Amino acid sequence: MKKISKELRKSYIILIFLFLLSYFGIILFFAYYVNNVTYADLKTTNGFMKYELGEFDHKLKIGKSVEELFQGALDECPKIDGLSALFIYNNKIYGEEYPKDAIEKIEKGFKSEEVQKLGFYRYQFIYREIKVNDDISFDLILVKNMKEDRHMLQGILRIVAILAVFTLLITIYISKAFYQKFMNPLKTLQDITNNLNLNTLNNEIKTSNQFIEFSNIITAYENMLKRLKTQTDAQIDFVNNASHELKTPIFIINGYINLIKRWGHENQEITQEAIDSIEEETKNMSTLVSKLLFLAKDNISDIEHREFDLKALIENIISDLKIVYPYEKINLFGEEVSIISDYNLIKQLLVNLIENSIKYGRKNDIDIKIIKGQNIVIEIKDKGEGISKENLEHIYDKFFRVDKARSREINSHGLGLSIVRKITDALNIDINIESELNVGTTVTLTLPKL
C-alpha cells in the first residue's frame, strides 16, 4: 500500500529533475553556441589570412621585408574581441596583444588548419606552418581567448546550482504544506470514523478545508452518516414500536393458553373461545408486523409506473373489504378513469383510508367519489366520529389513536395514516383531511397529472 506523502514527494522530485534538465539544456545550448561562434571567428580570420598570405611571395619580390608583410597582415586582420593573430619567424613573435601564457602550450601542439582547444573553454586556436618559398617559412597562430565566455558559463552554472537548491528547499516546503492541507480533513474523517457510534451519527463534521474535491467528499460522507442515522433510527424505532405493540397481543395469547391449560379439557366452549381469540390476535399481530416493516423502510425506491383503471381498483378494494366488513355500505361514484402510477402503493393507500372510514364511521354509509378534471381527485367521506382540531394535527404520528379506549375494539394500531403519509410523499399525491367531531371526516386525494 502506497503512502500519499511519498508519492507526492516522488512527483515533486520528478518535477525538479525535469526543471534542472531544462536548465542544463539551456546551458548546453549556450555552451554550444559560444563554441560555434568562436569556431566561426577563427575560420573567418583564417580565411582572411589565407588571402593575405597568398600575396606574400609577390610582395617579397618587389622589395617588401618579412616584418613589413607581417605588420600589414596584422593591420588588415579583422578585429574580433578576444582573438589574436601572431607570426613566429626565426624564434621571434610578431603580433599585438596575445595571451603569452598559452603560446608555449600552443607551440607544442599539432600544426593544422583545424580548430583546436586548450583547456575547458579557455582557448581555441589554429596553428599553421606557412611556407612562402624555399627560403622563407614561418608559423601562424590564431588564438581566441574564451575567458569572458568561460566566466559567463561559470556564472550561469552557479546560478543554476543556487536555483536548484532553492527550488529543492521550496519544493520540500510546499509539498509538506500541501500535504498537511489535505491531511487535516482526512485525519478528521479518520477520527470521526474511528469514534463512530449510534450517538455520534448525527454529528456535524467540522474541519478546515480549502479544496473542492475534499468538500465534495466530506459532503458525501455527511450525507452517508445522515442516511445511516435515518436507517438506524428506523430500525430502533421499529424494534421499540414492535416490542411495545406486541406486548398486549402476546399477553392476551399467553392468557388464553393458560386458560386452555386450566379449563380447556373440561369446557369445550372455553377452548373454542380461546382458540378464536388466539386466531384473532395472531391476525392482529401479522397485520401489525406488516405495517411496521413497511414504515421501517428508509424510503420507497422501487416505484413501478403502469397504467390501470382507478375505478376498477376501488371496486376490487370494496369487494375485498366486504368479506371482513359484510354489513358496511360503501357507495362509489364517478366514471372510469385510467391513471399511470404504482398499482400496489395506490391500493395500499386506498385500503388504509377506506378501512379507517369503516372503523370510525359508526356503521354509517361511506361515499367515495372519483372526480375527473384538470387533475384526478378521489374523495372519501364518512359520517362517523370525526376528529377534533387538536387531534387532527397528530393523525400522521405513529401509534397515535384518537380514541385509545376503543383502539383494541376496532383493531387499530395507529399506523394506518403514517403509512398513508409515506405513500403520498413517495407518489407526490396531495392529501387533505377535513373533519368535525360527531359529523364525520372527508379525505381528499389529488393525484398528479402524468
pLDDT of 298-349, one tens digit each?
566 667 888 999 999 999 889 888 877 888 899 999 989 999 988 888 888 8
Decide if pLDDT at 205 tops 50: yes
- Out of 139-143, 248-252, 375-379, pick the least confident: 248-252
Give residue 300's pLDDT. 65
Give residue 409's pLDDT. 43
Question: How many Å apart are CA 40 and CA 392, to the nearest integer?
Answer: 104
Decide if pLDDT at 200 tops 50: yes
Question: How many Å apart are CA 395 and CA 387, to the nearest integer?
Answer: 9
More confident residue, 357 or 160: 357
Yes or no: domain 306-447 corresponds to CATH 3.30.300.20: no
Residue with cell 469514534: 195
Decide if pLDDT at 1 tops 70: no
Give residue 121's pLDDT. 81
- Out of 23-27, 41-45, 142-146, 293-297, pick the least confident: 293-297
pLDDT tier for residue 406 given thresholds of 50, 70 and 90: very low
- Out of 80-89, 171-180, 372-381, pick the least confident: 171-180
Average pLDDT over residues 73-90: 86
More confident residue, 272 or 246: 272
Which of 346, 384, 392, 352 minimizes the C-alpha distance to 367? 384
pLDDT tier for residue 284 given thresholds of 50, 70 and 90: low
Yes or no: domain 4-154 corresponds to CATH 3.30.450: yes
Q: Are strands 366-372 and 330-333 parallel, antiparallel or unpaired?
A: parallel
Question: How many Å apart are CA 212 and CA 202, to the nearest integer?
Answer: 23
Q: Highest mean pLDDT range out of 226-230, 242-246, 293-297, 327-331?
A: 327-331
Domain boundaries, given as residue ranges, for the chain: 4-154, 212-296, 306-447
pLDDT tier for residue 211 given thresholds of 50, 70 and 90: low
Give residue 247's pLDDT. 64
Question: How many Å apart are CA 429 and CA 72, to the nearest integer?
Answer: 112
DSSP 147-204: HHHHHHHHHHHHHHHHHHHHHHHHHHHHHHHHHHHHHHHHHHHHHHHHT--TTTTTPP
- Evaluate the CA torsion angle 30, 33, 39, 40 in order and state its sign: negative
- Could you tell me the CA-to-CA distances from 172 to 13, 167, 267, 375 in Å, in that order? 9, 8, 93, 68
Starting at the edge strand that comes first in sequence, how are the strands of the sheet with 430-436 ordered? 330-333, 366-372, 376-382, 440-447, 430-436
Average pLDDT over residues 239-244: 62
Decide if pLDDT at 381 tops 90: yes
More confident residue, 280 or 241: 280
pTM above 0.85, yes or no: no
Q: What share of the chain in percent tops pLDDT 90?
A: 9
Give residue 254's pLDDT. 80
Q: Classify domain 212-296 at the CATH topology level.
A: Helix Hairpins (1.10.287)
Residue 153 CA to its chain's centroid (Å) = 48
| Mean per-residue pLDDT over the chain, rounded | 78
